[in-house]
Chains A and B, each alone.
Chain A
Amino acid sequence: VQLVQSGAEVTKPGASVTVSCKASGYTFSDYFIHWVRQAPGQGLQWMAMFNPTRDYTDYAQEFQGRLTLTSDTSTSTLYMELNSLRSEDTAIYYCARERSYDHWFGPWGQGTLVTVSS
């Protein structure tokens, strides 16, 4: 079982960024995928969850309207797009798996550093 994320990104304030998370070693539709971020020296922050079976997404209130999760079931890949970036969005972004309704996360992707800087 593996979640492999795309590489580091450097982008400017106001722009958008897309991070991918490719799943392998299990049936993609049997598990939810969550996105969690961690700003430098800070704690973990839950962002959103994607249910591939129902094509359903829950977003943390803070990110509603600015965050979009999509999937490509043919490649078992999840995409996280965050818009209107600001410096405070500089963080490591992780995807993590949840067996449907188990309410815990594991395994995690390796993380993707997104740097927002002018």
Chain B
Amino acid sequence: QSALTQPRSVSGSPGQSVTISCTGTSSDVGGYNRVSWYQQHPGRVPKLMIFDVIKRPSGVPDRFAGSKSGNTASLTISGLQAEDEADYYCCSHAGNFYVFGTGTMVTVL
């Protein structure tokens, strides 16, 4: 049950786009369309941003988009804004358990 692999950090200027990858295996990311993404600001509770690979909960801006190819899921943030600066975690269903990614810090330059 190894953690999914994410880049430690990504950065972009306001208005730019950034993409965070989340690499697993055929037993988790590749085997299920059940990848979710969570945003966590320092000292705050994680917030659901994407579920079922591509779906956005109500209230999440359409600047956030999810995708998946093979064993790698991705979260793209378009039109980067200052409030997007946070840690982001992917999570995948993997049978009888779940596995989170290692986490990515997004910095808005």
Let me know if A110 and B36 touch, CB within 8 A. Answer: no
Known: A104-B36, A105-B36. A58 touches B101 (CB 8 A): no
Chain B residue total in the interface (Cβ 8 A): 26
Counting chain B CB atoms within 10 Å of each CB, the highest count among A44, A96, A111 belongs to A44
Partner of B1, one of A43, A61, A104, A108: A61
Counting chain A CB atoms within 10 Å of each CB, the highest count among B47, B98, B102 belongs to B98
Let me know if B103 and A44 touch, CB within 8 A. Answer: yes
Distance from B77 Cβ to chain A, minimum over Cβ atoms (Å): 19
Let me know if A34 and B45 touch, CB within 8 A. Answer: no
Distance between Cα atoms of A52 and B47 in the complex (Å): 24
Count of A-B contacts judged by CB separation below 8 Å:
64
Residues of A within 8 A of B86 (CB): none
Residues of B within 8 A of A50 (CB): none
Let me know if B99 and A104 touch, CB within 8 A. Answer: no
Let me know if B100 and A45 touch, CB within 8 A. Answer: yes
Distance between Cα atoms of A26 and B59 in the complex (Å): 20
Least CB separation from A62: chain B residue:
B1
Q: CB-defined interface of A92-111 with B at 8 Å, one 1/0 digit per residue?
A: 00101000001111101111
What 9 pairs across the A-B complex have the smallest Cβ distances? Answer: A104-B51, A43-B103, A103-B34, A104-B36, A46-B98, A106-B48, A44-B100, A103-B93, A108-B45
